Amino acid sequence: MSSTPFKGSLKAKRKGELTEIAQALGIGLDQSQKKEELEDLIREHLISHKNQYSSNENFKGLIDSLDSSRRRSGRSSSVNGNAESDGSDSPEASVRSPRKHSQRPSNLGIPSTPLSAIPASASDLAASAKQRGLKARKSLDKLVDTISANARSTAHELGSEVQDAQSEVSASLHAVQGEATKRYRKAKQQGHKLFVRARTWLSDTKNLVRLLVAFEGLLLLLATLPTTYIEIGSRGPKIPVVNPKSGINAYLPHWAITLPDPRGLISLDFYRPLTLWTVYSVLVPLAVAHLVTFDRRAQPSAYSFLLARLSVLFFLARVLPNSTLTALGLPAPAVLGVAAGEVRESALIRGLRSLFSYDYVLAHLGVDLQIWATATAFGFAQYETIAVRPRAA
């Protein structure tokens, strides 16, 4: 605080000097206030505390300056008022005025407030209004700051809630992903184990032979199985069933289910192809597999089984029908003059051949399919023999 007394007019001072005066007076300041606002605040503070600062040597000069400025403004206003009154009493004014004056005394009372006090009251009123405006502005700024703080706090709380929700969702998602990954790994391991078991089982030639025999047997069973159908309702048009012998003998409904015929299971036509296939394609090669084996442990050889089966199929389907072996065993004619015709021995041989012919199997199961399947299994057996052969030292 400066030790030099303050004096002079406030309007002639700079903002730094006004700031120093306000600090000396203990007035709260704001950095955003302008010079005029500081001047008004200091003037209002000095006027409201005039009795206190009039005896203080540091601020007495400011009080005197304010009083002199108020007196000058009061004299100027009174001079202007007298000039107007003098002008109105002059003859020119009375001539120019169209108003008629009466000699009756005026009922207007003399104002109780001196004329010199009117400018001072107006200045105080303006200073007070300006101070209230500043207070209102400060209150508005405080309200805006409060609203902004509340908005920031609300936004912070909302952001924290959103972050919590995101954390929960992320945790749930990680849990679901972990469970899905765990199940996927478990399924992958089970699938790998199943694959290894299937590979191990199919890598054995004996299992391939079993699979071949089961495949051909199932196809032959489905081809020779007698079937019938069950009619269900009568939806749609009826289709006539044409029998070559008896003509049109029935009408087939639109819907029918095909089922095995129990009556056909006791006929010779059903069992004869299965029996001949079992004897020629399974039992004969199996006997050769037990007789011809190069295994030191004297185990049945799958290689011998497939080779014998392939040879039997070629013989029965390709060699025997087209060779002279079909004429072997037929008796020659006895003597010249015997009546033309077939002897009883020849008829017996032909009957046996027709009874045990492999053509009953070939009518339901083609020989090309059997040769292809057997040759494929034989190739895998050859590959197994090469693969497990010990290397030379």
Mean of the pLDDT values across residues 152-163? 79
Maximum alpha-carbon separation in the chain: 198
The parent domain of residue 280 ranges over 203-226+264-328+342-387
Strand partners, 257: 230
Residue 205, pLDDT above cutoff 60: yes
Q: Which residues make Cβ contacts (< 8 Å) with residue 343, sequence separation at least 6?
A: 331, 334
Q: Name which residue leads in pLDDT, 34 or 192.
A: 192
- Is residue 219 located within the same domain as residue 347? yes
Q: What is the reported pLDDT for 284?
A: 93
- Is residue 256 located within the same domain as residue 215? no
- Is residue 278 located within the same domain as residue 288? yes
Residue 233, pLDDT above cutoff 70: no
Q: Is residue 107 part of a domain?
A: no
Q: Is residue 93 part of a domain?
A: no
Mean of the pLDDT values across residues 16-26? 78
- Is residue 232 located within the same domain as residue 357? no
| CA pair distance 131, 204, nearest whole angstrom | 107
Average per-residue pLDDT in the chain? Answer: 74
| CA pair distance 278, 284, nearest whole angstrom | 9
| CA pair distance 374, 213, nearest whole angstrom | 9
Q: Name which residue leads in pLDDT, 304 or 81.
A: 304
Mean of the pLDDT values across residues 78-88? 46
Q: What is the reported pLDDT for 103?
A: 43
Q: Name which residue leads in pLDDT, 319 or 376.
A: 376
Provide the number of structural domains found in the chain. Answer: 2
Q: Is residue 239 part of a domain?
A: yes
Our CA angle for 80, 81, 83, nearest 5°, is 65
Tokens 């605040």: give the residue.
41
pLDDT bucket at 57, cuts 50 / 70 / 90: confident
Alpha helices, DSSP H only, in the chain? Answer: 15-25, 35-48, 50-53, 60-89, 91-96, 117-202, 205-224, 268-278, 284-291, 302-314, 344-355, 359-362, 367-387
Q: What is the reported pLDDT for 2?
A: 54
Q: What is the reported pLDDT for 193?
A: 94
Residue 147, pLDDT above cutoff 80: yes
Q: Name which residue leads in pLDDT, 165 or 122.
A: 165
Q: Is residue 189 part of a domain?
A: no
Determine how many CB atoms are found less than 10 A away from the CB of residue 128. Answer: 14
Q: Is 193 left (phi over 0), alpha (psi -120 to 50) or beta?
A: alpha
Percent of the chain with pLDDT over 70: 70
Q: Is residue 380 part of a domain?
A: yes
Determine how many CB atoms are found less than 10 A away from the CB of residue 47. Answer: 17
The predicted-structure confidence for 335-354, as pLDDT tens digits, reads as follows 444 444 554 544 444 545 56
| CA pair distance 9, 316, nearest whole angstrom | 141
- Is residue 315 located within the same domain as residue 254? no
Q: Is residue 323 part of a domain?
A: yes
Residue 246, pLDDT above cutoff 60: yes
- Is residue 382 located within the same domain as residue 370? yes
Q: Which residues make Cβ contacts (< 8 Å) with residue 57, sequence separation at least 6?
A: 5
- Is residue 379 located within the same domain as residue 232? no
Residue 365, pLDDT above cutoff 50: yes
Mean of the pLDDT values across residues 362-382? 90
Task: Evaluate whether 330 touches 352 at the Cβ level (below 8 Å).
Answer: no
Listed range (8-22, 176-190, 233-247) with the worst mean pLDDT:
233-247
Determine how many CB atoms are found less than 10 A away from the CB of residue 234. Answer: 11
The predicted-structure confidence for 89-138, as pLDDT tens digits, reads as follows 444 444 344 444 444 444 444 444 444 444 456 777 777 777 888 878 87
Q: Is residue 358 part of a domain?
A: yes
| CA pair distance 22, 130, nearest whole angstrom | 17
Q: Name the nearest CA neighbour of 209 among 282, 279, 277, 280.
A: 282
- Is residue 353 located within the same domain as residue 318? yes
Q: Name which residue leads in pLDDT, 101 or 293.
A: 293
